[in-house]
Amino acid sequence: MSEYISTRDIEGRPPRQFYDVVEKGLEQDGGLSVPVRYPRISIDDLRAMADHQKEQGYLKLFVDVRSRLVGDSVSLDKQFQMAKAAFTPEKFPDAVNGNYAPVRQFDEKLFIQNLSLGPTAVFKDLAMQPFAQDLDYVLADRIKAFLGASSGDTFSAASESVGALPNTDMFLVVPSPKHGNMSPVQWAQGAKNASATVHNITMDMPFGPLQDIVKNIQKDPEFVDLGAVNSINWARVASQIPYYFSGYFQAIEQSGSGAKIGDEVDFVVPSGNMGNVVAGYVAKMMGLPIRNIIVATNENEVLHDLIQHGVYRRKKTALTNSPSMDIDAASNSERPLFDLFERDPVKIRQFMETFSRTGSVSLADVGMGHLSLRSLGFDSGVSNNLQRVQTIRTAYEVYNDIIDPHTAAALHVTLERPKPEIPTIIMETASQVKFEDTTAEAIGRENVPERQERFRNIERYLQNEFAYVALRDEEELKDFIRAHRR
């Protein structure tokens, strides 16, 4: 049970345990780790889980779901202790009654699930905080340093969690202001945790090439001991799955009489690298009654093209008001595609190698219909800057609510579709506090809410002597790592 293989394994290596595949993120053959079989959760189990959540909150549910993927190399007691250390009222001061991913109702069938109560106000906290515990409790002797690239949210979520471990060095690279669209609060959040051991690095290039440099270094034998914290790491995907269960139970309960466990729902998810979406997909494969997962992209519509046209094409990154979705590829798509290709590693290799060589590949190239991803339950939609600003205004005027521009991408796609006939849950991936200028543009500066305590005057951290180091290229980055890792 809960064993893992690589999507690109053509040699039939023996399956591995959870803690063997989360060290690096990428498999040695270049593939992604996937469960040999998705653990199945029965309707009876779902009912029991719903009751557990009501009585004992998110923690219990988190362990209930995630332990099926972690397996028993770590005892359930210990898994519970780790979850308790990850989700604390100090880190999530606005979580009410132990609910770390609360759902609120917008309309009869329309719900929104808040995933941004964590220390850096983004859904990534919900997986990065547990990952820090995995490292501390289980992997401490195996990984001492991390290297990662980020377009804005990953790096502060990482330095706020993994970066806080005393024996871990972190090297986090982001595009310089000229090549990225990070907000002032995001720059300040990154600066907050910079130190002699947590290094924020800027480079004068867009996220795509920057990520390629990071991947090159990770493949370099000299740097094999560097761990990865990016969204393809299975530890992150696994920790994102429980909140789909939580959102489902809450939406069914709030739907009132007539709604019951077993009814289908749709999720609408703002998406870049497809990490969050893939967690929902795995939840569905585990037996959570999800009908469609609707992927909402911004102008960087790589996933929309893949889902609607069967074409996976690298595009020049457009800088948008939803910077955490400004990507030129969606690496996590390899996981559902592996299932779509009937788990044939040769086909995945052919597909992904064509993509990396030419920047464009189509499902037809491997003999699949161009709408095949829709048969797995995916659907998609797109928005642009202006539409997201208008949607923030709509949320304010119609639902009396304030959402961030990533969440607005999902609400825009939802409102474009026919009125939902089954419960539809929008994932709120960030708090507007990170993107106040866009809030102001949409609803006026005077209506921007007061910041939560922990974000007041966060700009002061930009004065941190370690805040950011500017480097030029791959060689300089390697030299910097050599000089600074312990």
Ligand X SMILES: *Cc1c(COP(=O)(O)O)cnc(C)c1O
Instruction: Quote the least distance from Cβ 166 to ligand X, whole Å.
Output: 27
Q: CB nearer to ligand X: give 138 or 294.
A: 294
Binding mask 407-436 for ligand X (x = CB under 6 A): ----------------------xx------
Binding mask 453-482 for ligand X (x = CB under 6 A): ------------------------------
What's the rounded Cα separation, in Å, for the pair 207 and 30?
Answer: 20
CB 473 within 8 A of CB 206: no
Q: CB nearer to ligand X: give 59 or 277.
A: 277
Report which secondary-structure segment, H or E, holds 293.
Answer: strand 290-297
Q: CB nearer to ligand X: give 325 or 411.
A: 325
Instruction: Quote the least distance from Cβ 405 to ligand X, whole Å.
Output: 8
Question: How many angstroms separate the first and last alpha carbons of the chain?
Answer: 37
Instruction: Quote the least distance from Cβ 124 to ligand X, whole Å.
Output: 6
Q: CB nearer to ligand X: give 122 or 368.
A: 122
Binding mask 63-102 for ligand X (x = CB under 6 A): ----------------------------------------
CB 145 within 8 A of CB 169: yes
Instruction: Quote the least distance from Cβ 406 to ligand X, whole Å.
Output: 4
Q: CB nearer to ligand X: give 133 or 276.
A: 276
* Full DSSP string of 350-383: HHHHHHHHHSEEEGGGGT--TTHHHHTTEEEEE-
Return the residues of window 175-234 that contact ligand X according to CB under 6 A: 231
Integer CA distances (angstroms), 231 to 71, 103, 155, 322, 337, in order? 21, 24, 11, 17, 17
Q: CB nearer to ligand X: give 53 or 156.
A: 156
Q: CB nearer to ligand X: give 68 or 124.
A: 124
Instruction: Quote the least distance from Cβ 3 to ligand X, whole Å.
Output: 24
Q: CB nearer to ligand X: give 83 or 408.
A: 408
Instruction: Quote the least distance from Cβ 262 to ligand X, whole Å.
Output: 28
Phi-psi region of 96 (alpha: psi -120 to 50; beta: other; left: phi over 0): beta
Q: What is the dihedral of CA 144, 145, 150, 153, to 10 degrees?
A: 40
Q: Which of 357, 18, 385, 364 is nearest to 5 (CA)?
A: 18
CB 381 within 8 A of CB 271: no
Instruction: Quote the least distance from Cβ 63 to ligand X, whole Å.
Output: 22
Q: CB under 8 Å to 473, separation ≥6 — which residues?
A: 203, 213
Q: CB nearer to ligand X: give 275 or 423.
A: 275
In the complex, residue closest to ligand X by CB = 275
Instruction: Quote the least distance from Cβ 132 to ligand X, whole Å.
Output: 17
In a 13 Å sphere around the CA of 403, the CA atoms on its Cβ side amount to: 35
- Please say whether the dihedral angle defined by the alpha carbons of residues 319, 320, 323 and 326, taken in this order, is positive or negative: negative
Return the residues of window 263-302 that contact ligand X according to CB under 6 A: 270-277
Q: CB nearer to ligand X: give 252 or 325.
A: 325
Q: Which of 413, 407, 40, 111 is nearest to 265 (CA)?
A: 111
Of residues 191, 235, 325, 481, which one binds ligand X by CB under 6 A? 325
What's the rounded Cα separation, in Å, for the pair 121 and 110?
Answer: 23
The reply to whether 324 sits near ligand X by the rule CB under 6 A is yes
How many binding residues for ligand X (CB under 6 A)?
A: 17
The reply to whether 122 sits near ligand X by the rule CB under 6 A is yes
* Full DSSP string of 8-34: T--S-PPPB-HHHHTTTSB-TTS-BEE
Q: In angstroms, how far is CA 373 from the centroid of its own chain?
A: 20
Instruction: Quote the least distance from Cβ 285 to ligand X, whole Å.
Output: 17
Instruction: Quote the least distance from Cβ 202 to ligand X, whole Å.
Output: 18
Return the residues of window 142-181 that contact ligand X according to CB under 6 A: 153
Owner of token pair 């009132």: 256
What's the rounded Cα separation, in Å, for the pair 486 and 229?
Answer: 19
Instruction: Quote the least distance from Cβ 95 to ligand X, whole Å.
Output: 18
The reply to whether 381 sits near ligand X by the rule CB under 6 A is no
Q: CB nearer to ligand X: give 323 or 423.
A: 323
Interface with ligand X (CB under 6 A): 122, 124, 153, 231, 270-277, 324-325, 406, 429-430
